[in-house]
Amino acid sequence: MTRMAGLVLGVALAVVLGGCADGTADAAAGAAGTEVGARTASSASSPRDLLVRTRDHVFDAPARVASGATRIRLVNEGPDFHHVWLIRLEAGRTVEELERALAERPVTPDWAVDVGGPNTPGAAGEETSAVVQLEPGLHALVCVIPGPDGVPHIMKGMTRALVVERDGAEPSLPPAELVMTMDDYGYRLSAPIRAGRRSLRVENVAAQAHEVLIVKLEKGKRAEDFLQFLAAPEGTPPGKPVGGTTGLSRGQTNVISVDFEPGTYAFLCFVHDAGDLKPHFMHGMMQTFEVT
C-alpha cells in the first residue's frame, strides 16, 4: 500500500520524471519471421530472452546482449514497484548525460529513443514481460516509478547501461492477436479484449512518447479511482497493475501478453507531456474498459 502510495504521490506531484507503466508482455509463441522474403527463410526465429531482476534500487541485468527481438522478463524482488524503461542513446552520448537531462526535464531528449520494456508487476515477487526490438547501440535501463517518498527511482541511481551488439540473425517481433495504437492522447484497439491470455502489439504513432499501464480494477472502480488512490492512498487499493509497456517513441513497437480475467480494467499513460510536462492521463490518456 505504501508503495502504491508512493506511486501515486509522485504522479500527483507531477514534478518528477514521467512514466510508470508496467507491462506484462510476453509473446505468444511462434513462428516469428514468416515474412515472405527470400533469403531469410531459415532465419525466422523466436525472440531471445533477457532476464532483468529489480530491487530497491538496482537492476540486475547483463551488460551486453545481441540485437533483434528480445523478450525482456522483469522479475521484481521489491519491495517497491519497479519497471524496465529502455532508452537507446545516440552514438557518443552516455547514461550519465541522460540522467542529467532527465533530472532537468522529465522528457526523453531528442538524442535518445524510448524503446519500451515491461512495466512493473503489481506486487513484489511477480513477473511481467515485453518483447522489444533491440537495435545496436548503448541503452539505459531506467525506473522512474516514485517510491513512498515520492522520489522517482532514477533519482536514487536506478539506471543501468546495456550495450546491444549487432547480430546478423536478428529474430523479429512475434505475431499478436490484437493491435493497440497509442496517439495523443488515447488508445485504440483493433478489437475488444476478451478474457484469456491475449497478445497485443503496442504501437505509438504520435510525435511524443506514450506508454500503457494496464490496471485490473476492483468491481465498480474506474481509472479515476486508481489515480485518486495514488494521489491519496487510503483503504483498499481500487486496482492493481498487471502489465503494459513503458515509454515508446514514435514508430516503436512492443509485443506484450497479458492474462485478462472477466472484469474491469484501465489503460493509463504517466509519461510527461512534451509541452506542459503534465502526465498524459491529465490530458485524458486513460481508459476504463470491460473484459468479458
Looking at beta carbons only, is 199 or 249 nearer to Cu ion? 249
Closer to Cu ion by Cβ: residue 124 or 202:
202
User: What is the three-class DSSP state of 97?
Assistant: helix
Burial class (CB in 10 A: 0-12, 13-18, 19+), 96: exposed
The answer to whether 210 contacts Cu ion (rule: CB under 5 A) is: yes
Name the minimum Å distance from CB 272 to Cu ion: 9
Q: Which residues are 259's β-sheet partners?
A: 197
Shortest CB 208 distance to Cu ion, Å:
7
Whether a cis peptide bond, with omega within 30° of 0, leads into 79 is yes
Beta bridge partners of 22: none
d(CA 128, CA 82): 11
With contacts defined by CB under 5 A, name the span among 79-87, 113-121, 156-164, 277-285 that binds Cu ion: 277-285
Residues numbered 66-125 forming contacts with Cu ion, rule: CB under 5 A: none
Out of 280, 286, 287, 288, name the contact with Cu ion by CB under 5 A. Answer: 280
Identify the residue among 22, 269, 272, 286 touching Cu ion (CB under 5 A): 269
Contact 58, 143 (CB under 8 A): no
Residue closer to Cu ion, measured from CB, 21 or 124: 21
Number of Cβ within 10 Å of residue 161's Cβ equals: 17
Query: How would you class 170 by CB atoms within 10 Å of its CB: exposed for 0-12, middle for 13-18, buried for 19 or more?
Result: buried
Residues 271, 286, 287, 288: which binds Cu ion (CB under 5 A)? 271
Name the residue nearer to Cu ion (CB basis): 136 or 186: 186
Pick the piece of the chain touching Cu ion (CB under 5 A) from 32-40, 87-95, 108-116, 204-212.
204-212
Binding site for Cu ion (CB under 5 A): 210, 269, 271, 280, 285
